[in-house]
Amino acid sequence: MNQFYTAESVTEGHPDKLCDLIADSVLDDCLSHDALSRVACEVLATKGQIIVAGEITSLHEPQIPAIVRSVLRKVGYDPARYAIQCLIHKQSPDIAAGVDCSLEQRRGSPQDPVLRLGAGDQGVMVGYACSETPQMMPLPVVLAHRLAGCLTTARKSGMVRGLRPDGKAQVTVEYDEDGRPLRLDTVVLSAQHSPEKPADELFWELTDKVLAPALQALPPDEDTKILLNPSGRFVLGGPEADTGLTGRKLMVDSYGVFAPHGGGALSGKDPTKVDRSGAYMARYIAKNLVAAGLCSRCQVTLAYAIGKAEPVMVEVDTFGTGSICADDCLADAVRLVFGLTPSEIIAQLDLLTPRYTQTAAYGHFGKPELPWERTDQAKILRATVI
């Protein structure tokens, strides 16, 4: 029996993504001046107001109002229309102590650099990879991000005039009985626009200049349902229409309905927060397992305790696609090949480099330029198992 899977994405001008962009821009600014900055930045955006709150401990003092105005300008909003509030204090000394000296070292383990840092929080992180696209991401997720990205490109380049920053995309793909993408069932695209833009002109331009290039991997057929601005008029958007918050688009950030989510947000957090670094490592592991030919679909789950360096759980689930050994054997191989303490993750994935603004919109996974998308451990993994 065929199944249908749906994924969504939003543009960088969506109020939640605007908040993620601001939070990660603050983080990047801190890391670019002090690589050991501790940052947990939260942002709220509503009509006429941007509120930046959280904990920052750094040798550098970020000029947050200037960062916010820069992001607003780049996304396409007028900074003059927003009052900016900053409610920032330093990281809790209790949390800092647990991160700076892990539970293992406090209990007398030998002084080992990989055990120095404890996890910045407790939590569960999930990574996922599959063989159905070159990005090793589910096809609906790839197509939804492409639609949202193409919509922004069409606006910023002037290819489609009259567009405004807010927008959302959603894609439903029909899969055959063997779990392979079969056809494009439904496409939903909502694009904020100026009041003067004629609806028929907008629909034609979106079809020709956004949908066509974005959906090349699986073009619509005669039965595909295409819904453009299904609510009708979409003039009022962004923070004026909908309050935005950091971390409110977790499934857009990750794998949609294809994998569970541990619940921890990603943006605005430095890599000692395993909500972020652990999620990147889980994706790195899952992608290398698929690239090694050990499975065609894979979910890796890591769990941490605050202040403890080593994970409290490492689990691999290949959904019955494992080709060589059982999933528990793959989990053992993962522990042998990958360093899973915060110090090891930060070093392996180069997480002190300020690149987090790149991740804030259109997904944290599937972008080849990011270090957790490498498959450089695939051969080692295969050799370990065989």
**Whole-angstrom Cα distance, residue 174 to residue 171?**
10
270 among annotated binding-site residues: no
47 among annotated binding-site residues: no
233 among annotated binding-site residues: yes
166 among annotated binding-site residues: yes
209 among annotated binding-site residues: no
Could you please state the CATH topology (level 3) that the domain comprising 3-9+139-236 is classified under: GMP Synthetase; Chain A, domain 3 (3.30.300)
17 among annotated binding-site residues: no
91 among annotated binding-site residues: yes
**Whole-angstrom Cα distance, residue 148 to residue 106?**
48
The answer to whether 372 touches 300, Cβ cutoff 8 Å, is no
The pLDDT tens digits along the chain (386 residues) read 899 999 999 999 999 999 999 999 999 999 999 999 999 999 999 999 999 999 999 999 999 999 999 999 999 999 999 999 999 999 998 888 888 888 888 887 777 778 889 999 999 999 999 999 999 999 999 999 999 999 999 999 999 999 999 999 999 999 999 899 999 999 999 999 999 999 999 999 999 999 999 999 999 999 999 999 999 999 999 999 999 999 999 999 999 999 999 999 999 999 999 999 999 999 999 999 999 999 999 999 999 999 999 999 999 999 999 988 999 999 999 999 999 999 999 999 999 999 999 999 999 999 999 999 999 999 999 999 98
249 among annotated binding-site residues: yes
**Hey, what CATH class is 15-115 in?**
alpha beta
**Whole-angstrom Cα distance, residue 301 to residue 68?**
35
90 among annotated binding-site residues: no
**Hey, what CATH class is 123-133+273-385 in?**
alpha beta
Structural domain spans, the chain: 3-9+139-236, 15-115, 123-133+273-385
225 among annotated binding-site residues: no
308 among annotated binding-site residues: no
315 among annotated binding-site residues: no
Residue 246 zone, left/alpha/beta (φ > 0; ψ -120 to 50; rest):
beta
The answer to whether 283 touches 309, Cβ cutoff 8 Å, is no
Please, what's the b/e burial string for 131-151 (b: 16 or more CB within 10 A of its CB; e: otherwise)? ebbebbbbbbbbbbbbbbbbb
158 among annotated binding-site residues: no
DSSP 133-183: STTSS-HHHHHHHHHHHHHHHHHHHTSSTTEEEEEEEEEEEEE-TTS-EEE
> Are both 15-115 and 123-133+273-385 of the same fold?
yes
265 among annotated binding-site residues: yes
